[in-house]
């Protein structure tokens, strides 16, 4: 008896720029999920723990730059996804 083919859902294609804009208590942020392909460790500002190489996480930076920065992207930080979600 031939096998029946089951259609599998496909993941939506990633856009070249996959960041979304989110509002938190301290302002509006651009947030981009990573695919876990980082080559170095980062320190999460939410919990001060390491985000290990290759771990999926989010990168966030403010929509508007602070007074002392040249550009808002200079203020980007790497967060554990759960820590970012808990951020007010």
pLDDT in tens, 24-80: 999 999 999 998 888 999 999 999 999 999 999 999 999 987 777 777 777 889 999
Domain membership flag for residue 4? no
Domain membership flag for residue 68? yes
Domain membership flag for residue 2? no
Residue 32: which domain range?
A: 20-86
CA 36 to each of CA 30, 39, 53, 65, 87: distance values in angstroms, whole numbers, following the listed order: 18, 9, 7, 27, 21
Domain membership flag for residue 63? yes
Domain membership flag for residue 5? no
Token reading at 80: 């554990």
pLDDT at 7 exceeding the cut of 80: no
| pTM metric for this prediction | 0.72
User: What's residue 14's pLDDT?
Assistant: 40
Domain membership flag for residue 46? yes
The band of 15, judged by pLDDT with boundaries at 50, 70 and 90, is very low
Domain membership flag for residue 26? yes
Give me the number of domains the chain comprises.
1
Domain membership flag for residue 49? yes
The band of 10, judged by pLDDT with boundaries at 50, 70 and 90, is very low
């Amino acid at each position: 008896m031939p096998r029946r083919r089951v259609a599998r859902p496909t993941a939506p294609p990633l856009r070249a720029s996959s960041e979304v804009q989110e509002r938190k208590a301290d302002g509006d942020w651009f947030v981009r999920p990573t695919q876990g392909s980082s080559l170095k460790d980062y320190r999460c500002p939410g919990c001060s723990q390491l985000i290990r190489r290759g771990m999926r996480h989010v990168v966030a930076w403010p929509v508007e730059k602070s007074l002392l920065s040249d550009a808002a992207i200079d203020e980007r930080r790497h967060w554990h996804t759960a820590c970012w979600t808990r951020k007010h």
